[in-house]
Structure 1
Amino acid sequence: MKILHSKMTTQELANCVGMAKQTINRWIREQHWITEPIPGVKGGRARLIHITPEVRNFLSSTPKLRHLSLTLQAAENEFPYHAQDSCPLWRQIQDVLAMMTDEEKQRLHVLLVREGLSGFLQRLKIADESA
């Protein structure tokens, strides 16, 4: 099952629906989809696409995409519940957690409780050396 997040990069949406990035960019222009710049990326070309009901409807009406099983989230006003919502890394972490099995999630929980954040980061070999 494919999941559409509330905001996605062109590449993420292209991967999700099995299309080329150029096709997604063409749809953005033709359909006047709402986008926003990705913070911290220079040049202004990297953008996040707001996955609005109009975008979902367009995707579901495209002949090639009708067969895809897309999780269409309930439409609600966009509101960043957490400051991390616009951070691509945060979304990537959420995606990884969503793909984990229940057993893997439980083992990760036990590891975090036992080791804490610093122990977890040390195991990943990304701990801050100066701390």
Structure 2
Amino acid sequence: MQGGKARLVHVNEQVRDFIRSAQRVAETPPSYASVENDLEPLLLTLSKEMTPGEQKKLMSLLLREGITGLLQRLDIRDQ
């Protein structure tokens, strides 16, 4: 930071002990309403793990055949 004052901070053993003994805040992950709602984040995660070529092919398939075609190919289409 230009024009700031330099400061020397001395961390002694007393400060180290305090830091070691301090309780850490644990952030609880948000709970989703139900298992059904986990599909969307799962699909987003999976799409990010795909290569660009795989993403392009999947997009092409979805645009060409839609979700019905994809589900039929996976043999999970409800009748």
TM-score over 0.5 (shorter chain): yes
In percent, how many aligned pairs have the same letter?
32
Q: 1:92 to 1:35 in 2, by over 3 A?
A: closer
- Displacement after TM superposition at 1:99 (Å): 0.8
What's the TM-score once normalised by structure 1's chain length?
A: 0.37
What's the TM-score once normalised by structure 2's chain length?
A: 0.57
Unmatched segments (≥5 aa) in structure 1: 1-28, 42-86
Structure with a larger share of its residues in strand? 1
1:104 aligns with 2:54: yes
Report which of the two structures shows the higher radius of gyration computed on alpha carbons: 2
Q: Distance in 2 between matches of 1:98 and 1:34?
A: 24
The count of aligned residue pairs is 56
Unmatched segments (≥5 aa) in structure 2: 1-22
Q: 1:97 to 1:37 in 2, by over 3 A?
A: closer
Structure with a larger share of its residues in helix? 2
Where does residue 40 of structure 1 map in the other structure?
A: 34
Where does residue 90 of structure 1 map in the other structure?
A: 40
- Displacement after TM superposition at 1:36 (Å): 3.7
Q: CA RMSD in A?
A: 2.3
